[in-house]
Amino acid sequence: MGSDRAAQALKERTRERQPLAWAAVHNNLGDALTALGQREVGTVRLEQAVVAFREALKEDTREQVPLLWAATENNLGNALALLGQRQTGTDQLEEAVAAFRAALDEHTRQRMPVLQARNTANKGVALMLIAQRRKDVGMAATAYARIDTAITLARSAGDDSSAADFETQLAQARTLREQLSAR
């Protein structure tokens, strides 16, 4: 959705009149900004995506729409993780881990097994990046375990494509764990 269309949609779907539609526009805007941000070198679009997802979470509450809330938390985590990859500290990555952890409260094996696998892998990758920056072997081991668990979850949910993607991430986590252990 282009920013002009998003602005028009927000005029029609105000928070007061249509709170869930208003949140959906923000979520869609966040998705679009994340996609644009992935293609760009800077962080402006990713920062805007984070703002859009946080706005959506004002109405997409866990109490009111738990699965939508979890999806929005996951989207927020993805945007924060991408932002964190482009920055030197770990603050954004830590926020991403918290968002993925929150999403996992609703994306359970019983309710959403494929999303549980993906959220678990996303959390593991964010932990891996934090471990790399902090040179933290314990966190690297935790990241490895999360990604390994995600592979098992994906396979048990019949999502072999994601499991294959997670295998690549697992190899990276294994290498990091070994490098940090050798220090």
How does pLDDT run across 142-179, given as a tens digit for each residue?
999 999 999 999 999 999 999 999 999 999 999 999 99
Question: How many Å apart are CA 62 and CA 105, to the nearest integer?
Answer: 10
The percentage of the chain sitting over the pLDDT mark of 90, rounded to a whole number, equals 85
Mean pLDDT of the chain: 93
What's the full length of the chain, in residues? 183
Alpha carbon distance 80, 20 (integer Å):
23
**Residues 174, 151 contacting (CB under 8 angstroms):** no
User: Distance (Å, rounded) from C-alpha 54 to C-alpha 58?
Assistant: 7
Token pair listed for 34: 């994340």
Q: How far is CA 112 from CA 19, 72, 79, 107, in A?
A: 25, 14, 21, 5
* Position 40 pLDDT exceeds 90: yes
- Strands, DSSP E only, in the chain? none
Distance CA 55, CA 142 (A): 31
List all residues 6 or more positions away from 29 whose beta carbon is below 8 Å from its beta carbon: 1, 3, 6, 49, 52
- This prediction's pTM: 0.89
Question: Other CB atoms closer than 10 Å to residue 78's CB: what's the count?
Answer: 24
